[in-house]
Structure 1
Amino acid sequence: MRTGAAAGHHGYFHEAVCYDSDEHLLGVVVPFLRGGVAAGEPTVVALGERNAALVRDAMPDDSPVVYLTGAATYTRPAAAIRSYRRILTGHMADGAAQIRIIGELPAATFGPGWDCWARYESAINHAYDDFPLWSMCAYDVRRTPEPVLADVARTHPRTALPGDRHLPSPAYVDPRLFLAERRPAPPDPLQRVAPRLELADPTASQARQAVRAAAPAGLPADQLADLIVAVSETVSNAHRHGLPPTRMRIWSGTDRMVITVTDRGSGPKDPFAGLLPAGGPDGGGLGLWITHQSCEQVTLSCDEDGFTVRLTAGP
């Protein structure tokens, strides 16, 4: 039986906590966690180091709360979905009637790559809806940019407030509509100058060679290897599912790279492509799934030039 504000709810109960002080945050989170512990529900904290310490200090020492490292949990959107689904599946197998999670995205996700995390916040309304999950996502309004907060309101069906108040969000948008918007991506700082390389209709092999040739010495070898996989899949996808011509551009800094692949098509029809495993009989969407698993930041956008996938690796 489900408890608290989610009592009687079927599927995912998704809330935002937009707080303006430590007291505000704790006023929501501590009762939420205590309620889960009292009900014998799996209760998980995936906050950053500072906020996790605040919560630990406010909770009884013997509370059976599981603390995850927030920054490590939220490295890539598709990987976070995969990890959480594995955790939720395990708790359900153990007989959990409800699972409670409080988490927060690192502040680094609020930059030019925010779009992929906005898509994550929207997609999980569908991705977790087959679990009895009640989760809260914490956002510090003093440090979170206004455009990010606007997306928070559009991707969270509810807002949690101190005093056990749970209000519906009038700005909430169904994930199928939100993910289909294909909003213009804000330029990455590296894109303020001309690209280092530009290729017309490259093969996957040529794309991989170009990335290796342009890679900066400061980009870690494992990130470069993952980026090469992502680029190869993206170029193959553009040839297989997009419309010609395909254009690839590479920007390279001292320790990071930005790569765009554009074709004249309109992108995948499945709004969850890349964030959830592909299920089509033709394997459509598998390339984007691999790309999202391999690359730190994947941004999808459409404009007059067509459909663009932007891949970013490095800090």
Structure 2
Amino acid sequence: MHSRGPTHVDGGQDVAADGATPGFRHDASFYDSAEDLAAVAAPFLLEGLDAGDGAVLAVSPESTSVLREALGNHPLVLVLEQHALYRSRTPTAIRTFRGLGEQAGPGRRVRVVGEVDFGVTAADRTEWQRYEAVINHAFAASPLWGLCVFDTRRLSDAVLAGARDSHPHLVTAAGRGANPDFVDPATYLAGLPVPDEPLERTPPALAAEDVTDLIGLRHTIRRVLSAVDGPADVVEDFLLAVDEMTSNGTRHGRRPVGLRLWTAPGRLVCTIRDAGPGPTDPFAGYGPAHGEDLSAGGMGLWLARQLCDHVALRRDADGSSVRLTTGWT
């Protein structure tokens, strides 16, 4: 376990008054053995079950085995498969957990022990670090209580540091308390670097410096992508995301709107740039801009994050850009 613990202990066994919906809680716990994991996570779920909360496990197969045993294979604990949930596209997890929160009983929460799979690339890691900060905002009004667990033997120093920055509370076997290292989510997101993409330093398969004919550009992009040896559904999703982001640039940005597209074995990258400032909301694209009213628009970035493996927003003195990346094996 990390030697530095919470600054105060708070069991947190509260019930919202008059059955009101309780808000989101987002805790972190660091472990270096199966015993450490079980000592924190099992009581968290069992206490919740006793109080009428829902209980969910979304951890690695190894952690699932440890915790199921510690929980006595409790029949009311919902077990989610880690890989299916924590894929490279964070909207999957956001939608899943939001849906679970909607099933909470009056005045209660759904408790989740989660163990994010941070992937193997810098882009994967950065996206899931963003996710950990984003959900403080995205789930603020949701009746969810997340206990995110981090294996200090396996995870990098960068991931562990990000975990401390993005969780308002820490939990150890001694109790729960405020995290002195927590960083305001918007500030944290602003400080995360955009991972490098080597393909951007090579000649593109297609370049358009001042887009004015969206229909013509769409046909040209489709011709370029038709030569790509990749899964048809992945390529089609990528085309739709490129179309959405280019349309966004022409509608909401400033001319000129430019596009560069790269293709490589097992990988597609497209950067769309315009002279405007780009989105100012640090949480843009992690939910529909107008909530559940899909007819109100504001869906471009939200769709792009679902259709592509990675979406990177950048801003400089000349304007802003969005980089879309997807791949396959």
TM-score by structure 1 length? 0.86
Q: Counterpart amino acid of 1:278? A: A
Tell me if structure 2 keeps the 8 A contact 1:12–1:131.
Answer: yes
Tell me if structure 1 keeps the 8 A contact 2:59–2:115.
Answer: yes
- The range that moved more, 46-55 or 282-291, is 282-291
1:274 positional shift: 0.8
Q: What is the percent sequence identity of the aligned residues?
A: 36
Q: Counterpart amino acid of 1:259? A: C
**26, 49, 56: which one aligns with 2:38:** 26
Cα distance in 1 between the residues matched to 2:281 and 2:239: 24
Matched, 1:82 2:95: yes
**151, 176, 180: which one aligns with 1:166:** 176
Partner of 2:205: 196
Structure 1 residues 101-250: aligned runs within 5 Å: 101-108=112-119, 111-161=122-172, 163-179=173-189, 181=190, 183-191=192-200, 193-202=202-211, 203-205=213-215, 206-207=217-218, 209-210=220-221, 213-214=224-225, 217-250=228-261
- What's the secondary structure of 2:103's corresponding residue? helix
Cα distance in 1 between the residues matched to 2:75 and 2:153: 30
- What's the secondary structure of 2:279's corresponding residue? coil
**Cα gap change, 1:142/1:242 in structure 2, threshold over 3 Å: closer, same or farther?**
farther
1:54 positional shift: 2.5
Which blocks of at least 5 consecutive residues in structure 1 are unaligned?
Answer: none
**Cα RMSD after superposing both structures:** 2.8
- What's the secondary structure of 1:34's corresponding residue? helix
TM-score by structure 2 length? 0.82
Partner of 1:72: 84
Summarize deviations over 1:224-277 as a string: whole Å, max 9, x none. 121111111111111111222223222322112122222222221233221121
1:218 positional shift: 4.7
**Cα gap change, 1:132/1:256 in structure 2, threshold over 3 Å: closer, same or farther?**
same
Summarize deviations over 1:37-92 as a string: whole Å, max 9, x none. 33232100111223222222332134420001121112322232222212211224
Cα distance in 2 between the residues matched to 1:104 and 1:189: 30
Cα distance in 2 between the residues matched to 1:291 and 1:182: 22
- The range that moved more, 194-203 or 268-277, is 194-203
- What's the secondary structure of 2:102's corresponding residue? helix
Give the count of matched residue pairs: 308
Partner of 1:56: 68
Cα distance in 2 between the residues matched to 1:174 and 1:269: 16
Q: Counterpart amino acid of 1:7? A: Q
Tell me if structure 1 keeps the 8 A contact 2:118–2:128.
Answer: no
Tell me if structure 2 keeps the 8 A contact 1:216–1:252.
Answer: no
Summarize deviations over 1:187-241 as a string: whole Å, max 9, x none. 1354464433332233544156426514675532222121111111111111111
- What's the secondary structure of 1:267's corresponding residue? coil
**29, 35, 44: which one aligns with 1:17:** 29
Partner of 1:255: 266
Q: Counterpart amino acid of 1:14? A: H
Which blocks of at least 5 consecutive residues in structure 2 are unaligned?
Answer: 1-9, 16-21
Tell me if structure 2 keeps the 8 A contact 1:153–1:171.
Answer: yes
- The range that moved more, 276-285 or 242-251, is 276-285
1:183 positional shift: 4.3
Larger Rg: 2
- What's the secondary structure of 1:288's corresponding residue? helix
Cα distance in 2 between the residues matched to 1:114 and 1:211: 31
Summarize deviations over 1:157-191 as a string: whole Å, max 9, x none. 11222x14223222322233334x27441213544
- What's the secondary structure of 1:97's corresponding residue? coil
Summarize deviations over 1:122-175 as a string: whole Å, max 9, x none. 2211222212321112222333333333322222111222x1422322232223
Tell me if structure 2 keeps the 8 A contact 1:215–1:252.
Answer: no
- What's the secondary structure of 1:309's corresponding residue? strand
Partner of 2:5: none
Partner of 2:303: 290
